[in-house]
Amino acid sequence: MWNRVKNIVSDGIRDLFPAYFALVMATGIISIACHVLKMDWLAFPLFYLNIFSYVVLWVLILVRIFRYPTQFLADLADKGGSSLTNEQIDEIVYGS
């Protein structure tokens, strides 16, 4: 049983999707927005969830760097499959 759990955790760290940091960004944004809107009853729990998520993700990333460096470097080299060119992005953002 423990071998199975160990394999699941190990596979999860090896295949950790880099975009999970979006969780940290989104939680932080919502926490700040709630604080600005005087909804501190929601802002502070989200803030603490944000800190917890940030620390956990950094620990997982550091473990991944040392245990699975080839997968980590492959993620750094991967452009995410975007098919938009810089000119197309400029047109979308700036409307020119």
Arithmetic mean of pLDDT, 63-83: 78
- 21-52 per-position pLDDT tens digit: 888 999 999 999 999 999 999 999 999 999 99
Residue of 93 and 63 predicted with greater confidence? 63
Whether the per-residue pLDDT at 65 is higher than 60: the answer is: yes
Q: What's the chain's length in residues?
A: 96
Q: Which residue stretches of the chain are H helix?
A: 2-14, 21-36, 40-67, 69-77, 86-94
- 77-86 per-position pLDDT tens digit: 766 655 666 6
> Using alpha carbons only, how large is the chain's radius of gyration in Å?
18
